[in-house]
Amino acid sequence: MIRTLLTTAGGETHTGGEELIERFHAEPESRIWIDVQGENSAREKALLEAFGCHPLAIIDAQKDNRHPPKIETFETHTLIIYRGLAAFDADLEYQPQQIPFFIGERYLISLHAGQAMSIDRMRGQNGGALLNKSPGHLALRIMYLSAGFYQESLTEFEARLSELEDALVENGTDTLMKQVIGYRSRLLKMRRIFNYHQSITGELLSTECAHIPHGHEDTEHAINDVHERFERLYSLTSMYYDICGDLIDGYMSLSSHQLNRTMQVLTVITAIFVPLSFLAGLYGMNFAYMPELSYRYGYFFLLGSMAAIAFGLIWLFRRQRWL
């Protein structure tokens, strides 16, 4: 599916399909946003080549989620490979989607295999007004919207993480621990993505790009906004990742402490019963002559000795704070 949004020199905005591409070429002062969703590689390549996109940029753009986010400037356009979202929820279950942006002086081309939340929302908002400012400005705002979806879900996740923390302290289970480990794994992947995006926006801040010029005040603000949002996302994922790590370490320490307490009790029980077992084994031997066995009160004396040893050891262990 190919969707287009065209703005004319007079400020008019038109939406449609491929028919607006011909009008774009016929009107030198017009600007166009071409959004390509779910088209095959050959169709995408033909469209990009028609706009003079560099062959290496086309190869990178068609790697289907295998290429990390990046920015690269060519003579007639700039390529930004962005890792957007197809879906995301408060449990950090997300479906990343690669969205390459080809940004020219008068055009923006976005490619994605499936539905893209940020692009759908932008088409329902003021995409035409942003395109009038510059195609680069529109691309930045799409990235800003996408980062907002990430931030909303991460904010919701904070409450879930707080509940998990309380549950682990009160009654930690292996099931809860598996959830925390799963969250930590997803946060690590997300942090890697945000680090890439932070590098992209940082490069846009430090180096002026021909197709995203710093001369326009609104564009400079847009770059700053996107960069700050990705900085925030990176710091949030880093913080939540560390919290999950602390929860795992705390649970392991608590489990180890409980195991040590159990072993301590078992050791005390063993220490008490070793001398008692020795006495029971000694007088349980079937020798024909054992003088003390003929003593009238020998049985009671032995029981008393065993009781004294047991209580004496218990007293000693309590004194040493082992019980």
Of the pLDDT bands very low, low, confident and very high (cuts 50, 70, 90), residue 323 is low
Alpha carbon distance 323, 320 (integer Å): 8
Question: SS3 for 67?
Answer: coil
Measured CA to CA, the distance from residue 87 to residue 96 in angstroms comes to 7
Crossing angle of helices 174-206/135-171, nearest 10°? 150
Mean of the per-residue pLDDT values of the chain: 83
Stretch (H or E) spanning 154: helix 135-171
H/E stretch holding 24 reads: helix 19-26
Does residue 102 carry a pLDDT above 90?
Answer: yes
pLDDT band at 234 (very low <50, low <70, confident <90, very high): very high
Over pLDDT 70: what percentage of the chain?
Answer: 93
176-189 average pLDDT score: 87
> Which of the four CATH numbers 3.30.460.20, 3.40.50.970, 3.30.420.10, 3.30.420.40 does domain 2-253 have?
3.30.460.20
322: DSSP letter: -
The type of residue at 302 is L
Amino acid present at 217: E
pTM, entire model: 0.75
Cα dihedral 42/45/50/51 (nearest 10): 160
All structural domains of the chain with their residue ranges: 2-253, 255-319
Could you read off the pLDDT of 115-162 as tens digits, one per residue? 777 888 887 777 788 888 888 889 999 889 888 888 888 888 888 888
Contact 97, 85 (CB under 8 A): yes
Tokens (6 digits) for 133:
């400012």
- In contact, 147 and 155? CB cutoff 8 Å: no
Residue range 219-248: mean pLDDT, rounded: 89
Residues 6+ apart with CB under 8 A from 16: 3, 4, 6
Highest mean pLDDT among 11-20, 206-215, 227-236: 227-236
Q: What is the pLDDT of residues 77-88, one digit of tens each?
A: 999 988 876 666
Top-confidence residue, 181 or 128:
181
CB 180 within 8 A of CB 49: no
152-161 contacts at long range (C-beta below 8 A, 24 or more positions apart)? 153/88, 153/89, 153/90, 153/92, 153/94, 154/92, 154/233, 154/236, 154/237, 154/240, 156/90, 157/90, 157/91, 157/92, 157/183, 157/240, 158/240, 160/90, 160/91, 161/240, 161/243, 161/244
Q: Say which CATH architecture domain 255-319 belongs to.
A: Up-down Bundle (1.20)
Distance of alpha carbon 120 from alpha carbon 99, whole angstroms = 13
Q: Write down the pLDDT at residue 86.
A: 67
More confident residue, 216 or 61: 61
Q: Who contacts 284 (Cβ-Cβ below 8 Å, separation ≥6)? A: none
